[in-house]
Structure 1
Amino acid sequence: MNSRHTLFLFTLVAVVCGGTSANAQPVQGFVDLHSHLTAEHSFGGSWFSGTVEGPMDVAVQRCDGNFPGGSHAATRIPIASELVSGHGLFGGDTGWHLGRRRGYDRRQCRYVFGIPVPGTCPRPHFEDWPMWDAIAHQQMWYGWLQQAYQGGLRVMVVSVAESNFLCNNTPIGNRRYDCDEMNSVRRQVNAAQGFVSRNSGWVGIATTPAQARALIQQGKLALVLAVEVTQLFPSGDFIAQLDELRGMGVRSVQVVHHSDNRFGGAAPIPKLMSGANKVEFIMGESTRINDIVCRDGWGSTGKCNGDNFLNERGLSAEGQTLVRAMMERGMLVDVAHLSRKSFANVYQLAQQRGNYPLLYSHAHMWNTISGSEDRHEKFIRQDEIQMITNTGGMVGLRTGPEDAIQYGSVGNSCQGSTTAFAQSLMYAIDNGLKVGFGADLNGFTDQLRPRYNSKDCYSDYVRINNAGGPTELQKKGLAHVGLLPQLISDLQAVGTPAPYVDHLNQSAENFLRLWERSVSLGSSQSGTWTAWLNRDAAGGSGDWETLNEFVIAGQACSNPIGIECQTTSGVNWTQSGEVYTCDAAGGGVCRVADQPDGVCFDYRVRFLCPSGPVHGTFSYSATNTNSAQQNTANKNVLLSAGQSIQLGTCSVSGSSGSGDTYLRLYGPAGTQVAYSDDSCGLLSSLSYTASQAGTYQLRAGCYSSGSCSGTVAYTIQ
């Protein structure tokens, strides 16, 4: 019997015998609210050296240092590769990174007169990478992740991140993938699911807080999927795309990242904007990162500083709709990277929904970081702390190398290290915040510096020697995920009072309670579940329970807002050990071709049908459509018999248009069932009640051969 089926039987026994419960004892351990497990698949797959999986001698083997070629951490302009790390020429782990070509040395021994040459035989060799300042070498190898889990890590929010800007500036010949950010999200989510499938004995993906508690009770690390990209849902129906990600298991989506987008304003980071200026000058292409306009209270423009000159943009109308949709679905609302104005807008929406809890997954405290040049709009000020605490929210404290102001009882004897982190930790907790780590490992950013440093931290250096010598963290800084438990120990070593350390060791429980409250406040839970449905026995090409067939059979609604998938024996799909798709918009699918052993279990699904109308939008710009008969923008929707749809570029909430718009609606047989030309002046709207269940197509265009544009909004009830 293979390990996957052994795990399956173990889980089945737990389910049948009552196994886990949401009423279990509080979880003991800590949470990392923001790290990047799948980063090797980002930036075109050409940036990071090393992989998450595989034995140490292969996954994190000695890199070639990009000399004379550039296999990783390289840019299209060679000299830029040497400077991108921010540590000066040849000073970081990008470009040639002279003296830092470390990792597991797999080379065969070299001998002189029969004596092996030191440093040439196969052995671990991690003195220089990963280090606290590594931005191009793997920090999330699974052996280190297990080390963190064994040391108390109970929940990790896995941020699926991408940068079209960085990807486009890597050498084309090095890339394994395209640079489309949403394609990268789907690819990385699949990679995370594959990782869990292959390591299901100790880790699992949680899509509900109850699943997270069950995984932890089974002795596993619970992963929660989140998305962090700049070009989020750049076009089309963003609600449908949100539901697509949610169906893939994603439970948090950041509205913005490094630049403004269709949903709102981003927190400008001056150093990033300066770098974007240089790239634009050298490459002659727009990055959009430096397009942010900052104004003071009088309306005057100035250099963005996070204090009096702030990003002028808040949430757009679409951004407000997106945030409301996340809340309606009980998702985690992460306000990281929002401009202060956008942050305040989200807080208003949270208040309207009974103080929906806000999560700031990776943040710094404005009042504990010294130096105005180091602070910017992403650093949380006192009024924003109040917004988070008012909603019962939580912060992931960034483990960055910033200099800190002395705050608490811990002497800040080594700036940028554990002693500086302790100041922010104590300040945040004293101000009522619930705090976990927001490490941002593999996040293209520096980490906490080492304390074992005779030059800059002499007193710490002496104390560490007197205590018996340095730990790996004290010597290398926060170099990889496996050192998070050592960071907690080092907080104790520098004298952090026990209540603050205890708070970190309770942070996994605090996060799960926040998530449970998010789910309870989400209106997606107010609906009606269908019966458990199973139309396909396992066999052949796989096991298929598709929404379309259940709608046509009259067994499910056409617009579900939730789905649950499990084997016919009652084991949740996330714990089956199989690669499986559970998507409210499509149903449940297990493909034999995706399984290592070529076998699928037999699954069943049920859908959560809304108690009220469902809304959606899609935007278009068109010309020469022959009154919406060619070159149209199309949207497919499922309708049950007797269900009504109203759509328009006017009259429907969220709709808009410019020019002479034209709409057509086609039924399941491919024939037109309704159309609209001029309903509100030159704009269009129509209503239709479905006579039969099936897929209907909305087609948007312009009258005759003219040009027009608009946002088609629709309501199904």
Structure 2
Amino acid sequence: MVRTPPRGVTVIIRLVLAALLAAVALTPSAGAQAPWWEPVNRPAPDSEINVSGEPFRGTDSQGKVRGFVDAHNHLMTNEAFGGRLICGKPFSEQGVADALKDCPEHHPFGLGAIFEAIVADPDGHDPVGWPTLKDWPSYKTVSHQQNYYAWVERAWRGGQRVLVADLTSNAALCSIYPFKDRGCDEMDSVRLQARRTYELQDYVDRMFGGAGKGWFRIVTTPQQARNVVAQGKLAVVLGIETSEIFGCRQVLNFPACTKGDIDRGLDEVYALGVRSVFPCHKYDNALCGVRFDSGTSGAVVNAAQFLRTGTWWTTEKCTGPQQDNPIGLAAPNALIPAGVVAPAYDPAKRCNTRGLTALGEYAVRGMMQRHMMIEIDHMSVKAAGRTLDIATQARYPGVLSSHSWMDPKWTERVYQLGGFVASYEMDSPAFVEQTAATSALRRQYNVGLGFGTDYNGVGSHPSPRGGVTYPFRSFPDGPLVDRQRTGQRVWDINTDGGAHVGLVPDWIEEVRKLGGDQVVNDLLAGAESYLGTWAGAQRWPS
């Protein structure tokens, strides 16, 4: 028989139960789960994200994915150029204060940032990072971290679904730069950066509850990428952009690599997960001639080429409508040995005499055999034209132009192959103008649009313009985006421009205000088009 408790005891029991129920209602239980897009153990303190709402996932009625694609970013450049050119890290096990700190030589007034002083900021900067971040990163910065993981997370939360992380370095720049803590071998840097990218994936996974649960997913096939995007996460593709890929520099016009080096190199980087490669970058190598830099940067790069290879850029009249960039300035005397005279250039001769070498053709065909994507940006007109000829003859679609470094007159040939073209993330008026010029071609070939941010790539970024009202939706049914806060610093696209990768959604809103919803719709179709090009390369020959 069950006895009934005395009335007073019953009242006490009911009061205790009511208190327990109230506590449960106010405090999540240990077993309660956060929404899939929110971390379960983000370190504190840390940067805020300032994007609210569930990231969209799934495919449309035709099975197509949706989302923005950053086709050219440099997540791990802090490990490149001798390890001290880019200050700060995209993540740190010791937390944000360690990740976002300036280089020691920049203290106390930022005047030790020699490369930044030459390129962008001769007056120095406040070198304090977290939590104040008073002067960096900025849209002008070339030596400070712009890819902190939480900023990448903000770009993902704001609609980006594909990120191409190009592993990069430059032996000549590394050799010239006085501050370094490691050697200048480009392939050693590539290996380290690849490892750090996988470590970042593990870091995000731990934050989101375990292996495979994070939003940052390195992918090695287009189908993997499609599955990741369909889950609403960020598909990260590894690429390589270096000047001496596989050690293939040229010295006094003689190649420093062999076909065997190329085969071993391609096999190695493929095993690392790399799926796109630039055969050449910045200065002529044993594979191809480059598309020149212009102005002051062109003069510096030409001097670096001379110091590294013993040869200067050489020019000739172009034979077709495509042209390389004008060189303009002569190399500065301060960078070249005494007694050496830098060449002057005839403005009527705009094309590099160097094209795709025999070793370059071997490398291009080797990439095709491995179903890798060929980046033709930074190739000279002659080299790009020959690469497109090879791809056309083989009907190979895996050709990319990821950040406006090919002559735009090649665009239709890339589309005819089934390739993908992205525009540099430039100032929004210029971006709208450039994309408008190719709008008819995109309609004709039914392709989406990408952008290449080039963050941490020692490039320029969108300057402040104004016109964005916060909060906003990055597209009609997208998440709500507010001003981004990191530590004591609040970032606003209207006053800060493209200071870091987390402001990509804000820049897209600026583009929408100028170019209309159609430009954003084209950008939302970018992920599908990029994956379509990759899938075509994977199926080849078919």
**Whole-Å separation in 2 of the counterparts to 1:302 and 1:158:** 26
Q: Tell whether the 8 Å contact from 1:215 to 1:222 is kept in structure 2 after alignment.
A: yes
- Residue 31 of structure 1 is matched in structure 2 by 69
Give the drift of 1:265.
1.0
- Residue 325 of structure 1 is matched in structure 2 by 366
CA RMSD of aligned residues (A): 3.3
Match among 81, 93, 100 for residue 43 of structure 1: 81
Match among 149, 161, 164 for residue 154 of structure 1: 161
1:183-194 to structure 2, matched below 5 A, reads 183-194=188-199
- 3-state SS of paired residue (1:396): strand
**Whole-Å separation in 1 of the counterparts to 2:304 and 2:366:** 36
Q: Which has the higher strand share?
A: 1
Is 1:519 matched with 2:526? no
Is 1:445 matched with 2:498? no
**Whole-Å separation in 2 of the counterparts to 1:64 and 1:508:** 40
Higher relative contact order (CA 8 A, sep 6+): 2
Q: Say if 1:66 and 1:30 are closer, same or farther in 2 by CA, change over 3 A.
A: same
Q: Which amino acid aligns with 1:46?
A: R
Q: Tell whether the 8 Å contact from 2:84 to 2:180 is kept in structure 1 after alignment.
A: yes
Q: Tell whether the 8 Å contact from 2:87 to 2:145 is kept in structure 1 after alignment.
A: yes
- Residue 240 of structure 1 is matched in structure 2 by 264
- Residue 312 of structure 2 is matched in structure 1 by 291
Query: Structure 1 stretches of 5 or more lacking a match?
Result: 1-6, 8-19, 75-80, 91-96, 106-124, 364-377, 401-416, 453-459, 524-717
- 3-state SS of paired residue (1:351): helix
Is 1:339 matched with 2:380? yes
Is 1:485 matched with 2:505? yes
**Whole-Å separation in 2 of the counterparts to 1:518 and 1:298:** 30
- Residue 436 of structure 1 is matched in structure 2 by 450
Q: Tell whether the 8 Å contact from 1:399 to 1:421 is kept in structure 2 after alignment.
A: yes
Q: Write the deviation string for residues 54-89 of structure 1: whole angstroms up to 9, x where unpaired.
A: 333332146667246989744xxxxxx4642245x3
**Percent of residue pairs bearing the same amino acid type:** 29
Q: Which amino acid aligns with 2:157?
A: Q
Is 1:396 matched with 2:422? yes
Q: Tell whether the 8 Å contact from 1:41 to 1:187 is kept in structure 2 after alignment.
A: yes
Q: Tell whether the 8 Å contact from 2:218 to 2:235 is kept in structure 1 after alignment.
A: yes
Give the drift of 1:23.
11
- Residue 386 of structure 1 is matched in structure 2 by 412
Q: Tell whether the 8 Å contact from 1:256 to 1:338 is kept in structure 2 after alignment.
A: yes
- Residue 251 of structure 2 is matched in structure 1 by none
Give the drift of 1:270.
2.7
- Residue 181 of structure 2 is matched in structure 1 by 176
Give the drift of 1:446.
1.2
**Whole-Å separation in 1 of the counterparts to 2:308 and 2:505:** 38
Q: Say if 1:473 and 1:298 are closer, same or farther in 2 by CA, change over 3 A.
A: closer
Q: Tell whether the 8 Å contact from 2:281 to 2:378 is kept in structure 1 after alignment.
A: yes
**Whole-Å separation in 1 of the counterparts to 2:102 and 2:183:** 27
Is 1:138 matched with 2:145? yes
**Whole-Å separation in 2 of the counterparts to 1:178 and 1:296:** 39
Give the drift of 1:195.
1.5
Give the drift of 1:390.
1.4
Q: Tell whether the 8 Å contact from 2:371 to 2:398 is kept in structure 1 after alignment.
A: no
Give the drift of 1:308.
4.7
Q: Write the deviation string for residues 317-370 of structure 1: whole angstroms up to 9, x where unpaired.
A: 11111111111211111111100011110111111112524210111xxxxxxx
1:396-435 to structure 2, matched below 5 A, reads 396-400=422-426, 417-432=427-442, 434-435=448-449
Q: Tell whether the 8 Å contact from 2:462 to 2:498 is kept in structure 1 after alignment.
A: yes
Q: Tell whether the 8 Å contact from 1:63 to 1:103 is kept in structure 2 after alignment.
A: no
Q: Say if 1:520 and 1:33 are closer, same or farther in 2 by CA, change over 3 A.
A: same
Q: Say if 1:515 and 1:142 are closer, same or farther in 2 by CA, change over 3 A.
A: same
Q: Say if 1:252 and 1:156 are closer, same or farther in 2 by CA, change over 3 A.
A: same
Q: Write the deviation string for residues 226-247 of structure 1: whole angstroms up to 9, x where unpaired.
A: 0111111222421121111101
Give the drift of 1:485.
1.1
Is 1:58 matched with 2:90? no
Higher radius of gyration, 1 or 2 = 1
Q: Say if 1:22 and 1:243 are closer, same or farther in 2 by CA, change over 3 A.
A: farther
**Whole-Å separation in 2 of the counterparts to 1:218 and 1:68:** 46
Give the drift of 1:288.
3.9
Q: Which amino acid aligns with 1:485?
A: P
Q: Write the deviation string for residues 114-151 of structure 1: whole angstroms up to 9, x where unpaired.
A: xxxxxxxxxxx234211111100100000101111101
- Residue 163 of structure 1 is matched in structure 2 by 170
Give the drift of 1:262.
1.1
- Residue 258 of structure 1 is matched in structure 2 by 282
Q: Say if 1:57 and 1:83 are closer, same or farther in 2 by CA, change over 3 A.
A: closer
Q: Write the deviation string for residues 576-605 of structure 1: whole angstroms up to 9, x where unpaired.
A: xxxxxxxxxxxxxxxxxxxxxxxxxxxxxx
Give the drift of 1:391.
1.0
**Whole-Å separation in 2 of the counterparts to 1:295 and 1:431:** 30
Give the drift of 1:426.
1.9
Match among 206, 220, 226 for residue 207 of structure 1: 220
**Whole-Å separation in 1 of the counterparts to 2:437 and 2:420:** 14
**Whole-Å separation in 2 of the counterparts to 1:22 and 1:497:** 22
Give the drift of 1:473.
1.4
Q: Tell whether the 8 Å contact from 1:152 to 1:485 is kept in structure 2 after alignment.
A: yes
- Residue 333 of structure 2 is matched in structure 1 by none
**Whole-Å separation in 1 of the counterparts to 2:419 and 2:319:** 32
1:273-312 to structure 2, matched below 5 A, reads 273-276=298-301, 286-288=307-309, 291-297=312-318, 304=327, 308-312=349-353
- Residue 12 of structure 2 is matched in structure 1 by none
Q: Which amino acid aligns with 2:367?
A: M
**Whole-Å separation in 2 of the counterparts to 1:302 and 1:290:** 19
- Residue 352 of structure 1 is matched in structure 2 by 393
**Whole-Å separation in 2 of the counterparts to 1:188 and 1:471:** 28
Q: Report the TM-score when normalising by structure 2.
A: 0.71
Q: Tell whether the 8 Å contact from 1:46 to 1:71 is kept in structure 2 after alignment.
A: no
**Whole-Å separation in 1 of the counterparts to 2:517 and 2:326:** 42
Moved over 6 A (4+): 20-24, 69-72, 467-471
Q: Which has the higher helix share?
A: 2
Q: Write the deviation string for residues 663-710 of structure 1: whole angstroms up to 9, x where unpaired.
A: xxxxxxxxxxxxxxxxxxxxxxxxxxxxxxxxxxxxxxxxxxxxxxxx
- 3-state SS of paired residue (1:292): coil
Q: Tell whether the 8 Å contact from 1:229 to 1:254 is kept in structure 2 after alignment.
A: yes
Give the drift of 1:290.
6.7
Q: Report the TM-score when normalising by structure 1.
A: 0.55
Is 1:101 matched with 2:127? yes
Q: Which amino acid aligns with 2:361?
A: Q
Q: Say if 1:397 and 1:290 are closer, same or farther in 2 by CA, change over 3 A.
A: farther
Q: Tell whether the 8 Å contact from 1:157 to 1:224 is kept in structure 2 after alignment.
A: yes
1:353-372 to structure 2, matched below 5 A, reads 353-363=394-404
Is 1:230 matched with 2:243? yes
- Residue 335 of structure 2 is matched in structure 1 by none
Give the drift of 1:273.
3.3
